[in-house]
Amino acid sequence: MARKPIIAGNWKMNNTIAQTKALVADLIPLVKDANCDVVICTPYTDLAAAVEATKGSNIHVGAENVHWAEKGAFTGEISADMLKELGVEYVIVGHSERRTYFGETDQTVNARVKAALSRGLKVILCVGETLAEREAGVTAEVVTRQTKAAFEGIDNDELDNIVIAYEPVWAIGTGKTATAQDANDTIKIIRDCMAELYCPKCAENRVRIQYGGSMNAKNAKELMAMPEIDGGLIGGASLKAEDFAKVVGFDK
């Protein structure tokens, strides 16, 4: 069974509501014939507008984070129920910017994954090594540790609801892309880890793994041609409709 590719935009802290409406309007006709799943992950404040603007199109909407608690005294945080009620389908969890700047740990990532899944949200789980870790030769250990921790206590049934995004931290927003071969090799390590945690067939047929880190219109085709790479998590190149549409149309 072939894994269906999935291309997701991660807008990060970009776009107002007005800009969201304009970008989605430009995007809809450009991606309507996509052969992959198309997702845009937007700031919380843009979600309602994005859900409204994408109605009837093939574009799915995701948030960029979610809290692990159902509700309560967590000033500034957003729950899975709140996202669900807005019509949001996906949520990014464990992005390296959250891990680096906001104290996200393997344990909080796992708690957020569980909360999202329990409310029927699909998760885009980010893992990836820093430059220092790559240079120290511990990439495999790092992505394996992050993957095992994130999936702690997650049932086999949920595998179709989690996409893994392998994002080497040194490639994010830097213009430095991992070579297609390096990205493929590390994604294979993650898939082998999933085979060990669940089963080889589960990892082969049901686990989609994206590459992320300076993926754009120019390199998407080469990256997507690799056998282990099932999609992309796109930051900078998701902010312009034409650029994102070219990544989505990598097979055209």
Name the residues that contact ligand PGA, by CB under 6 A: 10, 167, 172-173, 212-215, 233-237
For the bound state, the minimum distance from the C-beta of residue 212 to ligand PGA, rounded and expressed in Å, comes to 4
Catalytic residue among 64, 104, 129, 167: 167
Is 167 in the active site? yes
For the bound state, the minimum distance from the C-beta of residue 15 to ligand PGA, rounded and expressed in Å, comes to 14
Is 67 in the active site? no
The residue (of 5 and 213) whose beta carbon lies closer to ligand PGA is 213
Give me the residue whose beta carbon is nearest to ligand PGA.
Answer: 235
The residue (of 94 and 236) whose beta carbon lies closer to ligand PGA is 236
- Which three-class secondary structure string do you get for the chain? CCCCCEEEEECCCCCCHHHHHHHHHHHHHHHCCCCCEEEEECCHHHHHHHHHHHCCCCEEEEECCCCCCCCCCCCCCCCHHHHHHHCCCEEEECCHHHHHHCCCCHHHHHHHHHHHHHCCCEEEEEECCCHHHHHCCCHHHHHHHHHHHHCCCCCHHHHHHEEEEECCHHHCCCCCCCCHHHHHHHHHHHHHHHHHHCCHHHHHHCCEEEEECCCCCCCHHHHHCCCCCCEEEECHHHCCHHHHHHHHCCCC
For the bound state, the minimum distance from the C-beta of residue 97 to ligand PGA, rounded and expressed in Å, comes to 7
Residue 209: CB partners within 8 Å, gap ≥ 6? 163, 164, 165, 166, 187, 190, 191, 228, 229, 230, 231
Catalytic residue among 67, 95, 97, 104: 95
For the bound state, the minimum distance from the C-beta of residue 71 to ligand PGA, rounded and expressed in Å, comes to 28
The residue (of 94 and 226) whose beta carbon lies closer to ligand PGA is 94
The residue (of 47 and 64) whose beta carbon lies closer to ligand PGA is 64
For the bound state, the minimum distance from the C-beta of residue 240 to ligand PGA, rounded and expressed in Å, comes to 12
The residue (of 90 and 197) whose beta carbon lies closer to ligand PGA is 90
Active site members: 95, 167
